[in-house]
Amino acid sequence: MFMRLEHKKIAIVGGGPGGLTLAKLLQDKGVTVNIYERDIDKHARVQGSPLDLHEESGLAALRKAGLLDEFKKNFLPGADKMVIVNEQAEILYSDHDTKVLDNFGHVHFRPEIDRGALRKILLQSLEAETIVWNSHFVSMEKQGEGWLLHFKNGTTAYADIVIAADGANSKIRPYLTDIKPFYSGITMLEGNIYKAEKSAPQIFNLLRGGKAMAFGNEKDILMGQKANGEIGFYISFKTSENWATHSGLNFSDKAQLLTWFKEKYADWSPFWYELFASAETPFIPRPIYCMPLDQSWEAQPNLTMLGDAAHVMPPFAGEGVNMAMLDGLELSECLTSDEYATVQEAISVYERNMRKRAAVVAQESLENGERMHDKNALSTMLDFFSGH
Ligand-binding site membership of 52 (annotated): yes
Compute the distance between CA of residue 192 and CA of residue 223 in angstroms, rounded to an integer.
10
Q: What are the two backbone dihedrals, phi and then psi, of residue 46, each rounded to the nearest 5 degrees? A: -95, 110
Ligand-binding site membership of 327 (annotated): no
The CA-CA-CA angle for residues 39, 40, 43, to 5°, reads 85
Span between the terminal Cα atoms of the chain, in Å = 51
Q: Give bridge partners of residue 82 from the DSSP assignment.
A: 211
Own/partner long-range contacts of 350-355 (Cβ < 8 Å, ≥24 apart): 350/304, 351/297, 351/299, 351/304, 354/306, 354/310, 354/311, 354/327, 354/330, 355/295, 355/296, 355/310, 355/311
Ligand-binding site membership of 294 (annotated): no
Compute the distance between CA of residue 19 and CA of residue 90 in angstroms, rounded to an integer.
41
Q: Which strand (E) or helix (H) includes residue 151?
A: strand 146-151
Is the separation of the CB atoms in 355 and 361 below 8 Å? Answer: no
Compute the distance between CA of residue 228 and CA of residue 67 in angstroms, rounded to an integer.
23
144-10-322-215 Cα dihedral, nearest 10 degrees: -60
What single DSSP character describes residue 205?
A: H
Identify which of 64, 42, 43 has the alpha carbon closest to the alpha carbon of residue 55: 64
Ligand-binding site membership of 4 (annotated): no
Compute the distance between CA of residue 116 and CA of residue 131 in angstroms, rounded to an integer.
16
Compute the distance between CA of residue 231 and CA of residue 83 in angstroms, rounded to an integer.
15
Per DSSP, the residues of 34-98 read EEE--SSSTTS---S--EE--TTTHHHHHHHTT-HHHHHHHS-TTTT-EEEEETT--EEEE-TTT
Which residues participate in the annotated binding site for NADPH?
Answer: 45
Which residues participate in the annotated binding site for FAD?
Answer: 52, 115, 308
Which residues participate in the annotated binding site?
Answer: 45, 52, 115, 308
